[in-house]
Amino acid sequence: MRKVLTTGGALENYPLSPAIETDQHVIVSGTVAFDEQTGHRLAAVDTIQAETKWCLEMIEKLLGLAGCSLRDVVRTTVYLSDRDYYAAMNEAYSEYWDPGEFPTRATLVVGLVSDCRVEIDAIAAKP
């Protein structure tokens, strides 16, 4: 089975799927707090913590469409536009899992779309 999952957001206009559900996994594309109308980061995400939370909440919504949650995530990749955001991103990121239950993760410093500061993708194992 291969099923595209979408929330009807900005990614609809790009050549990618927001998430793909298979028999065993849900793979979520990189999520960014991007406002397609303005071409910039969403105004409401004024801190790196808020932007990180926005990304994780979007991942959670997409996972929910397949009956999964963040507890099912086994791998994330976090892309930061600046190394100085690492501690603040970690602070927000750590709120979404219990200690000892974090998924595996890679964190990279890269150039991102528009003025977004963080992008996060995820892979979840279906329960």
Asked if residue 65 lies in contact with residue 28, where contact means CB atoms within 8 angstroms, the answer is no
Residue 64 has a pLDDT of: 98
pTM: 0.95
Residue 40 has a pLDDT of: 87
Q: How far apart are CA 53 and CA 34, in angstroms?
A: 13
Residue 11 has a pLDDT of: 63
Q: Which range has highest mean pLDDT (11-25, 30-44, 53-67)?
A: 53-67
- Tell which residue, 30, 54, 31, 21, has the closest CA to residue 125: 21
Domains, the chain: 2-125 (3.30.1330.40)
Residue 73 has a pLDDT of: 98
Which tens digits make up the pLDDT trace of 52-100? 999 999 999 999 999 999 999 999 999 999 999 999 999 999 999 999 9
Average pLDDT score, the chain: 94
